Amino acid sequence: MKKRVCLIFSVLFFILLSGMCEAFVPQAPHLLNLVIKKIKRPVGIEAYQTKKILNYKDTEKEFLELKEKLYFLYPNRLRSDIVSDTRTSFSVESDFKFVKVMDGIIVSHDKPLVDMYTDILLYRDHESLLTQLNLAGIDTSKVSFQRYKDTICYVIGRPLEKGKPFAGLWIEKDTFLPLKYVVKKDGMLVEFFYYNWQQFSKTFYPMQVSVFLENQLFAMVNVKSIELKSGFSLSLFDIEHIDRLYSINDSDSLDENSRQVNELDKRLEDFKKLYE
């Protein structure tokens, strides 16, 4: 009888212990550290990509395609140049500051929502990434298990209402690769989906990204080539120098090409008006 009772208690203890182990969820700083250990931070990256932006206003032209060249210099520096013979446009992000220049004119110091997919690619130490998630409006005090399609994920972020979309970062449980990044700001909800992560030396990088605004596909990013590089000039990422070098936005001084590129940012407001 005593042996039977001991056996029952042993089984119950094992079940309880197993449940406790399965229920363990790491806190956000530890989880992000595991993500960074997975995707690694190189000295620098040079990437060529195309960005197709759906042109829902023009039925004759399904999308506007931009060719871009990205320079990552770690830690926390990114420059994105539009590759074109007819316009000069670039943006720089450095230590949480941002500037965008088109044809010699500074048009913004605010990073467009649709370009925030680079947050996950740029901030490759867990402290900086945690800071950026907080700046993006994500409640980093909450981590949970959730299912994304057929994949079990760690999710950093707290739902404001049950069943409603919320700002957060979805990380695949087994690989620690980011799958989904959601930002909610100024009444707009933008979702980024990362596909086809590939390894370059020890570094991982997603070859496709989809951007959704208010549950509608807005843009698709396709990476054409990746090269691990270093030796980029620091002046490429010097925002203070750029601020001194270029004049501030004057809409009358922008040519037609620049106005067309600038229209991409204004479409965020157009989307917002559609849902008011």
Q: Are the CB atoms for 185 and 213 separated by under 8 Å?
A: no
Residue 147: per-residue pLDDT: 92
Rounded to two decimals, the pTM is: 0.83
Query: How do strand 168-172 and strand 178-185 relate by DSSP bridges?
Result: antiparallel
Contact 96, 240 (CB under 8 A): no
- Burial call 150-185: b when 16+ CB within 10 Å, e when fewer: eeebbbbbebeeeeeebbbbbbbeeebbbbbbbbbe
What the block records as the tokens of 62 is 């399904």
- Tell me if 64 sits within 8 A of 52, measured CB to CB: yes
Instruction: Say what the pLDDT of residue 57 is.
Output: 64
* 25-274 CATH choice from 2.50.20.10, 3.40.50.720, 3.30.2010.10, 1.10.10.10: 2.50.20.10
Report the pLDDT value the prediction gives residue 15, as an integer from 0 to 100: 42
Q: What is the pLDDT of residue 11?
A: 43
Give the per-residue pLDDT at 88.
78
Q: Residue 162's pLDDT is what?
A: 78
pLDDT means per 10 residues, the chain with 276 residues, are 51 44 78 97 97 75 88 97 82 96 92 94 97 94 93 93 88 97 88 98 97 92 96 95 87 47 54 40
pLDDT attached to residue 4: 57
